[in-house]
Structure 1
């Protein structure tokens, strides 16, 4: 039996997150529904990561077994796109080893977070964080340096996340793409629930000059979620790419 991996994108606006759940619409649920239509049996998938409700993806990766050996990668891609809803699109498919699991095989995950610092644009409302205040990007960059490397990220996890809080962030870049668009790019091995959004929320406090850049180091070392700023909204966040 062949095993395939797919790289796909989705608009997270109308999903209750990635992970399959009963009685609500999820990305995994729609993907497995499409596979069931194609193969006439339930096909279970494994993904590189889970995204929360409202979070988008440009390069999510999932893998699954294919019960029809004659199908090619192109066949799988085309069949899925013919059966998936319009807010999910398979960009590419390829054959992988029988034991390939994208969650454990991933060497790096890259997240993008977009902040729009202008008056509200109704056409962007589901895809950026509208934040019409001036942000000091240089101070945010200085603060972000304290988060790079291996640290205990207890201060930046979701309160009920009981996973090991020690994580590695390779790099955080903060770029001004257009006059009113700021991109925060976070590269790491793996992340705790809401970790990137919590980091963004705290970096924005620095950008507003309500916190000094050094405050981020202090918050990190205190290892208390109560010490960090609030969570940035989900719709500005994208799982941009998974590297294997």
Structure 2
């Protein structure tokens, strides 16, 4: 039996997140339905990182076992022929039979897009966070430096039962792109639930001038979620890539 890894992209607008849930449409659900059509049997997929409702992906990685003899190109084509038009398989490669995308991942990269303009762009409303107030990108960069490295990010996560909140962020880059788009790129080994969106919410607080950059260090060290701002909207977030 072969084990395949597929790199996929998806528009999260009409999904209730990645993980299968009864009675709602999920990314995992439509992929496993497609695999069932191909294999004529149920197959469970493994994933490098779950995404919440409304979150998108550019380079998500999933792994599954194939009970039929099929090559990589044919597997990719078969999946794309059976998937809806808001999910696309970019690449399929055969991996070791013990390969697990969650535990083998060395770096995960998330992108968050903010549309920073006085008026909304209706065509970007599902893919960026429209923020109409001026943002000081340089101050946001200064604040982001306090979050790089290994820290207890309890102030920036939704804590799951028995889950450690210690994480390592390798780098945070904040860039002002064309057409009034601000990109926040966060690179780390792993992330707790809503961690990136909570970090974005805090950086925006600095960008508006409500907080000085040093405030992020204070909030981080307090290990208290109630001291941090509200979570940034899901639709601006993209699971950009994962490295093994």
Q: Same-fold call, TM > 0.5?
A: yes
* Displacement of 1:161: 5.7
Contact 2:159 2:165 in 1 (8 A): no
Q: How does 1:34-183 map to 2 (within 5 A)?
A: 34-69=34-69, 71-118=70-117, 119-160=119-160, 162-183=162-183
Q: What is the match of residue 218 of structure 2?
A: 218
Mark the runs of 5 or more structure 2 residues left unpaired by the alignment. Answer: none
Contact 1:161 1:192 in 2 (8 A): no
Change (3 A) 1:198 1:59: same
- Normalised TM-score (structure 1): 0.98
State the secondary structure of the residue aligned to 1:146. helix
Higher mean C-alpha displacement, 196-205 vs 172-181: 172-181
Contact 1:116 1:131 in 2 (8 A): yes
Mark the runs of 5 or more structure 1 residues left unpaired by the alignment. Answer: none
Q: What is the match of residue 241 of structure 1?
A: 241
State the secondary structure of the residue aligned to 1:242. strand
- Normalised TM-score (structure 2): 0.98
**CA separation in 2, counterparts of 1:175 and 1:140?**
10
Count of aligned pairs between the two proteins: 243
Q: What is the match of residue 7 of structure 1?
A: 7
Contact 1:144 1:203 in 2 (8 A): yes
What are the superposed Cα offsets for residues 72-125 of structure 1, whole Å, 9 maximum, x if unpaired?
A: 000110000000000000000000000010000100000000000111111111
**CA separation in 2, counterparts of 1:64 and 1:181?**
36
**CA separation in 1, counterparts of 2:90 and 2:158?**
31
**CA separation in 2, counterparts of 1:129 and 1:67?**
42
* Displacement of 1:127: 0.1
**CA separation in 2, counterparts of 1:93 and 1:179?**
34
- Structure 1 runs (4+) greater than 2 angstroms displaced: 159-162
Q: What is the match of residue 33 of structure 2?
A: 33
**CA separation in 1, counterparts of 2:129 and 2:159?**
22
**CA separation in 1, counterparts of 2:179 and 2:98?**
46
Q: How does 1:13-24 map to 2 (within 5 A)?
A: 13-24=13-24
* Displacement of 1:158: 1.2
